[in-house]
């Protein structure tokens, strides 16, 4: 299906949830892929893995206590089409990865759940990677059930990917599948 043109490299982006943002707030950032995706040559991005990192305050700590003003969660999604500031359902073909940080301030417990990651579906080879033919990825993050605590909260995405060459037939099939959700 694809042949790698580069070794693995990382792309990162961060969204900021401002202090005291109400429950249900969503913030979006973009990851520019225009330097890597090229339609005439069939060049695309193969995403091998995605990690979400949750931090808050000026020291960028990972401690969950205080991130929200009460019990709640901070969710994140990475998509290859623009959902605006909405989260998409798990069966949406544009969903690359998603995760959530659950915060129980009452009992001082924080847990991280992963929903979908490209590397969950098999060995680390190109047939199991998430192929992207769009020139932008969208990171959406937001808090639920409680306002953001006394400092800004940050959600970063770290994407391990490669530049690949696709056949014209494969490139078109991925483009059709990707835009079918729009």
Q: Is 116's pLDDT higher than 80?
A: no
Residue 23 banded pLDDT, cuts 50, 70, 90: very high
**pLDDT higher than threshold 90 for residue 152:** yes
Tell the burial category of 34 from Cβ atoms under 10 Å away from its Cβ (0-12, 13-18, 19+). Answer: exposed
DSSP the chain: -EEESS--EEEEEEEEE-TTPPTT-EEEEEEE-TTT-BTTTTEEEEEEEEEEEEEETTTTB---TTTBSSSEEEEEEEESS--TT----TT-TTEEEEEEEEEETTTTEEEEEEEE-GGGGSSSSGGGSEEE-SSEEEEEEEEESS-B-SS-EEEEEEEEEEEEEE-HHHHHHHHHHHHTT-
165-175 pLDDT, tens per residue?
Answer: 988 888 788 87
According to DSSP, the residues that pair with 17 across neighbouring strands are 153
pLDDT digits (tens, 9 = 90+) for 73-92: 999 999 999 999 999 998 88
The answer to which of 26-35, 54-63, 119-128 has the lowest mean pLDDT is 119-128
Whether the model clears a pTM of 0.95, i.e. scores above it, the answer is no
């Amino acid at each position: 299906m694809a042949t790698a043109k580069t070794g693995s490299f990382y792309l990162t982006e961060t969204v900021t949830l401002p202090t005291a943002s109400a429950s249900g707030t969503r913030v979006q950032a973009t990851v520019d892929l225009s330097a890597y995706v090229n339609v005439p040559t069939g060049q695309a991005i193969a995403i091998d893995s995605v990690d979400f990192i949750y931090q808050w305050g000026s020291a960028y700590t990972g401690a969950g206590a205080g991130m929200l003003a009460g019990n709640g969660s901070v969710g994140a999604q990475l998509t290859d089409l623009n959902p605006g500031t909405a989260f998409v359902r798990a069966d949406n073909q544009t969903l690359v990865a998603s995760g959530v940080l659950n915060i129980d301030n009452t009992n001082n417990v924080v847990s991280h759940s992963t929903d979908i990651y490209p590397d969950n579906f098999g060995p680390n080879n190109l047939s199991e990677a998430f192929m992207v033919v769009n020139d932008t990825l969208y990171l959406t993050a937001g808090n639920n059930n409680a306002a953001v605590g006394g400092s800004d909260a940050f959600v970063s995405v770290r994407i391990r990917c490669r530049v690949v060459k696709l056949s014209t037939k494969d490139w078109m099939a991925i483009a059709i599948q990707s835009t079918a959700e729009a």
